[in-house]
Amino acid sequence: MFRRRFRMVRSLFLRIVNAMGTSENFFVQRRDSVGRLGLSALQKITTVFRMLAYGLPVDATDEYIKIGESTAIESLKRFCRAVMEEFTDDYLRSPNTTDVARLLRIG
């Protein structure tokens, strides 16, 4: 069920959530001036994944997770920046000649 909904395995999702919490302060849950807890990293990143996986418009996230439009947009922007910073070296690099040869062999 999780894999179908988020298009990835749960362990990968949680790895990304944890990485975002350590690399971007925006995703750390904080209290507001009244003392109420704000949105968690899980809520913000779930919103981002639903927008990316299903192409949901920003206003649809308010109905699903109860997150405001401006917060959803800011979450998406900061998530993309944090993913670039955190995962570029390992996963988002340009292919080298070995990678290209392997891809051409596969088809």
The predicted pLDDT at position 72 comes to: 92
Beta strands in 1-107 (DSSP E): none
Mean pLDDT of 68-75: 92
Average pLDDT in the chain: 89
The predicted pLDDT at position 62 comes to: 75
Is 93 or 35 the better-scoring residue by pLDDT?
Answer: 35
d(CA 67, CA 47): 8
Q: Global pTM?
A: 0.78
Domains of the chain: which residue ranges? 2-106
Tens-digit pLDDT profile for residues 24-64: 899 999 998 999 999 999 999 999 988 888 888 888 877 77
The amino acid present at 72, given as its one-letter code, is: A
Structure tokens at 86: 């955190």
Is 53 or 70 the better-scoring residue by pLDDT?
Answer: 70
The predicted pLDDT at position 5 comes to: 80
